Amino acid sequence: MQRGTSTLLVAALAWAPPLHAQGPAAVPGPVRLPALGESASEDLTVGAERRIGDQIMLEGRRDPAYLDDPVLLSYLQSLWAPLVAAARDRGDIGADTGPLFAWEVFLLRDRSVNAFALPGGYVGMHLGMIALATSSDQIASVLAHELVHVTQRHIARSIAPAQRASLLGLAALLLGIIAASRTGNSDFASAGIMAGQGAAIQGQLNFSRDMEREADRIGYGLLASAGFDTGGMGAMFERLDGATRLADNNSFPYLRSHPLTVDRISEARNRSLMDGGSRVAPPQFLHSLMQARARVLMDESAQALQRLNGETSSPEPADQAQALYAGALAASKLNDHDRAERQAAEALALARAAPRREPAAERLLHLLQAQVRLARGDARGAAQALQALDSAPPAGASGIGERAELLLRAQAQVALQRLQPGHDPAALRRSAETLQTWLADVPQDALVWEQLAVATDALGLKLRSMRAAAEARAAVGDLTGAIDRLRAAQAAARGASGQDFIEASVIDARLRQLATQRRQLALEARGRGVPGDEPQ
């Protein structure tokens, strides 16, 4: 975040504030510090912290910068999940926060190199961070650092002085700080600084540096426990140092909320050497492809896309595949479909010819082929690319691309149905059932609800389609939009019988639930409720 916001609340929890350097890690050691984090519960309960985070995400999911890209998100989750599991095994996630916090990672379409923790177990990452990192271990080190901010309840410790404020007010304040940091407008933060006394400001800066050191130290141990290369942390600090050095104004260290990056680099490197040194990993096709995807999606202007032509001077196959992946995706968005298909095929050929094949990378390249063919309007070609996945090597237990695959399969079947009405309705029905099965486990997946609405509409299931469209709006926090759609479905269901009668009953029950939820939120907004302190 910007330097102006670094002394306030969550700004201390940013991994890499854009445009200025950060600093050292703390003394090595795997010791957990439960007393520091848990003492925050005296000022802010776990339930209250979760409610603040939920309120921020309720607004954040409707922000244009919020990015639900199934491919990139599944890659990020494949790194996040083992870190969370390791934190549970180590006891970093306690019995209080374990069942109540969200433990969710999400993406922001932002070019800046940043990641941050929010109250209640949410961690966000900018696309610029993925585009900068050169390995999955580096990304994992960022996630480990932010996860420690959550497990040690650094946010609760930061906002404890504001404990008497309403939780919705705190959420709005946090949103304002995040927005100010992303737009570069530090007026609000400057006002907050000027309002305090110099000694109090310095104390807050010191507290922030302590939390950063704690996150570095515990995050290092967490990274090792999750099976990642601990050398990724020092390498990531070096990447950050190179990215921010030219923009740093060399402020005195004691005026920074984050320790100096050069010290963090040396601390991380020393720990790695004491542990026997970091392993030398071969080029990673998977991360190279995800790095390319992040570069395309973080800036979709025509000028930026035209620069990604699929060419590179590097002799490394992974680098060549990365350039081809970026070129194919950019060409597809520029409607240069011939080049998109050609470069996607060339990238897949490189991955197949690699000495050390990566099944997950190959599957993502099949998905890229399906994506560019759907963009061209070639539904049959997209279906063929997806059928190739049935004989491709399994990607393992990571689940990378699983959600993207089920969405693309449904999109291809819907496109085939529109191209040729009555074409293989059984295949379309199977796709819809797969989407419904996914939603049984992940009921807040707005993107899958939207695709289910399209698929069931193509099957002629109007009421189910209308309910799915309503659930998609509810999943992103648009309760009014969801209620409006359910009321329209309720009107369309009058006189329904058979299966439609069952669906109409579900619509009635869901409409009552959302109406009650909207009333409760309205009461809380007027200050008549006490959100967060009720039993969960």
Q: What is the mean pLDDT of residues 3-18?
A: 37
What is the structure's pLDDT at 258? 58
Q: How confident is the model at residue 302 (pLDDT cuts 50, 70, 90)?
A: very high
201: pLDDT strictly greater than 50: no
162: pLDDT strictly greater than 60: no
Q: How confident is the model at residue 5 (pLDDT cuts 50, 70, 90)?
A: very low
Residue, of 434 and 524, whose pLDDT is higher: 434
31: pLDDT strictly greater than 80: no
527: pLDDT strictly greater than 60: yes
d(CA 377, CA 392): 24
Q: What is the mean pLDDT of residues 443-471?
A: 96
Q: How confident is the model at residue 498 (pLDDT cuts 50, 70, 90)?
A: low
Helices in 125-228 by DSSP H: which ranges?
127-132, 136-151, 154-159, 167-183, 187-195, 198-225
Percent of the chain topping pLDDT 90: 53
116: pLDDT strictly greater than 80: yes
Contact 329, 372 (CB under 8 A): yes
Contact 15, 23 (CB under 8 A): no
What contacts 70, CB < 8 A, 6 or more positions away? Answer: 401, 403, 404, 407, 447
* Strand ranges, E, within 356-410: none
What is the structure's pLDDT at 531? 42
Note every long-range contact of 226-229, with CB atoms under 8 Å and residues 24 or more positions apart, other chains counting: 226/82, 226/83, 226/85, 226/86, 226/140, 226/144, 227/82, 227/86, 228/79, 228/82, 228/136, 228/137, 228/140, 228/141, 228/144, 229/135, 229/137, 229/278, 229/279, 229/281
What is the structure's pLDDT at 14? 45
- Single-letter amino acid, residue 229: D
Contact 41, 57 (CB under 8 A): no
Q: Across the chain, what does the average pLDDT equal?
A: 80
Q: Give phi and psi for 395, each to the nearest 5.
A: -80, -5
- Single-letter amino acid, residue 535: P
d(CA 248, CA 238): 15
Minimum mean pLDDT range among 106-120, 374-388, 522-536: 522-536
State pTM to two decimals: 0.82
| Size of the chain, expressed as the number of residues it contains | 536
d(CA 371, CA 376): 9
Ordered DSSP codes for 423-470: S-HHHHHHHHHHHHHHHHH-TT-HHHHHHHHHHHHHTT-HHHHHHHHH
Q: For residue 147, give the nearest of 88, 64, 73 by alpha carbon.
A: 88
d(CA 448, CA 406): 9
Tens digit of each residue's pLDDT (9 = 90 or more) over 364-402? 999 999 999 999 999 999 999 999 888 776 666 567 889
What is the structure's pLDDT at 259? 59
Q: How confident is the model at residue 142 (pLDDT cuts 50, 70, 90)?
A: very high
Tens digit of each residue's pLDDT (9 = 90 or more) over 204-254? 444 477 788 888 889 999 999 999 998 888 888 888 877 766 445 444 443
d(CA 142, CA 233): 8
d(CA 148, CA 126): 18
End-to-end Cα distance, the chain: 33
What is the structure's pLDDT at 221? 92
Q: Which of 233-247, 257-271, 361-375, 512-526 has the highest mean pLDDT?
A: 361-375
What contacts 248, CB < 8 A, 6 or more positions away? Answer: 19, 20, 21
Q: How confident is the model at residue 181 (pLDDT cuts 50, 70, 90)?
A: low
d(CA 83, CA 147): 8
